[in-house]
Copies of this chain bind each other. A is one copy, B any other.
């Protein structure tokens, strides 16, 4: 274990954001679970909102960072919206719906809480597939309370969507996609940590998000891919990669993956590979996960089969494996790293518990030219 600052500390909710961006996350019954992944992600990293607390009565009184990563971050989990407001001492600006159920739809008890937030004057940020701006009760409530509802997943009008154009072939910096063996397995967290670690060391990296959470977190380049019909998905990923390249002139672009190529339903990574055309892929895997998170009748793929599938599906190479340590002791993580490195011949690490230098090394090993960009203190 590293003795320096814990990697997850770099991801904490940012304070010092302007007034008007303070938010409470509603995640009843699901915080820390796979279906709470939007909330989990925002607690770890948020550039747009200052996260004051998380609502989940099961875990009331706990520290959200302690629950997620075993390290307190000062953001409490509370029992109710009333408790969250009392804790803040004022009415927070936003109530973010941090649930991500497989069917993307709200249950009646969940509607009541969001409507309560509206009635109290909070703006709603909604990352569900269900658009609250299409729901007459929510629209009326928001009008009465003079607040806004933002449906993050609502796609652009068709006329504003992009078909694949081939402009990706003009992007001269390498792209690295962070794919995985299941949904809600840590792809976004690994991608975020990688971008932060590269930038800290002088290598200019830009994240292109592909899910609603990354967009709520405040990512500058991204598209909520699973809200768009398939025809435009490759083109929208390509468009965001081209925009990141032209807008930031980065040394490398990191692209967030979705689901898994082997997945029965969540196949957006097929479009991510075709649209971003990465030279390298990092694969995130949870060795102790037995069945797919949202599909408990389907076994997880092996890391070997997923790597073979990725390299068969696209003209790319897997450059390393990142481990999600759910259900693992620290010794088991160490053993898995050794096993993967010897059996797969690829670097492996757990970005949340091992030094981020290992994650950076994985990239430098595959793209040695990037090492020229390292700040002198990191060489």
Separation of A297 and B168 alpha carbons in the complex (Å): 12
Whether A324 sits at the interface, judged by CB under 8 Å, is no
Q: Identify which of B104, B228, B234, B308 contacts A267 (C-beta below 8 A).
A: B234
Whether A379 sits at the interface, judged by CB under 8 Å, is no
CB distance from A246 to the nearest CB of B (A): 19
Q: Identify which of B158, B297, B313 contacts A105 (C-beta below 8 A).
A: B158
Whether A175 sits at the interface, judged by CB under 8 Å, is no
Q: Identify which of B164, B271, B275, B312 contacts A308 (C-beta below 8 A).
A: B312
A164 adjacent to B265 (CB under 8 Å): yes
A268 adjacent to B230 (CB under 8 Å): yes
Whether A187 sits at the interface, judged by CB under 8 Å, is no
A164 adjacent to B264 (CB under 8 Å): yes
Taken residue by residue from 245 to 273, chain A's Cβ proximity to chain B (1 for < 8 Å, 0 otherwise) reads as 00000000000000001011111101100
A265 adjacent to B163 (CB under 8 Å): yes
Separation of A264 and B158 alpha carbons in the complex (Å): 19
List the B residue with the shortest CB-CB distance to A313.
B313
CB distance from A282 to the nearest CB of B (A): 20
Q: Which of A216-230 contact B (CB under 8 A)?
A: 225-230
B266 adjacent to A297 (CB under 8 Å): no
CB distance from A122 to the nearest CB of B (A): 25
A266 adjacent to B231 (CB under 8 Å): yes
A130 adjacent to B105 (CB under 8 Å): no
Q: Identify which of B102, B231, B232, B297 contacts A163 (C-beta below 8 A).
A: B102
Query: In the complex, what residues of B have CB within 8 A of residue A267's CB?
Result: 230, 233-234, 267, 270-271, 274
Whether A327 sits at the interface, judged by CB under 8 Å, is no
List the B residue with the shortest CB-CB distance to A277.
B264
CB distance from A31 to the nearest CB of B (A): 22
CB distance from A256 to the nearest CB of B (A): 15
Separation of A164 and B103 alpha carbons in the complex (Å): 10
Query: In the complex, what residues of B have CB within 8 A of residue A29's CB?
Result: none
A226 adjacent to B234 (CB under 8 Å): no
CB distance from A250 to the nearest CB of B (A): 23
Whether A139 sits at the interface, judged by CB under 8 Å, is no
Separation of A229 and B227 alpha carbons in the complex (Å): 6
CB distance from A238 to the nearest CB of B (A): 8
Q: Identify which of B129, B158, B163 contacts A229 (C-beta below 8 A).
A: B129
Separation of A163 and B102 alpha carbons in the complex (Å): 8
Whether A32 sits at the interface, judged by CB under 8 Å, is no
B313 adjacent to A234 (CB under 8 Å): no
Query: In the complex, what residues of B have CB within 8 A of residue A166's CB?
Result: 264, 295, 297-298
Interface, chain A (partner B; CB < 8 A): 102-105, 129-130, 158-159, 163-164, 166, 169, 225-235, 261, 263-268, 270-271, 274-275, 294-295, 297-298, 308-309, 312-313
24 of the cross-chain contacts (CB-CB < 8 Å) are A104-B231, A130-B158, A163-B294, A164-B264, A166-B297, A169-B297, A225-B230, A226-B229, A226-B230, A227-B229, A228-B230, A229-B229, A229-B230, A230-B266, A230-B267, A230-B271, A231-B265, A233-B265, A235-B265, A264-B275, A265-B271, A267-B271, A309-B312, A312-B313
Sorted nearest first, the 6 A-B pairs with minimum C-beta distance are: A312-B312, A164-B265, A234-B265, A166-B297, A164-B264, A267-B270
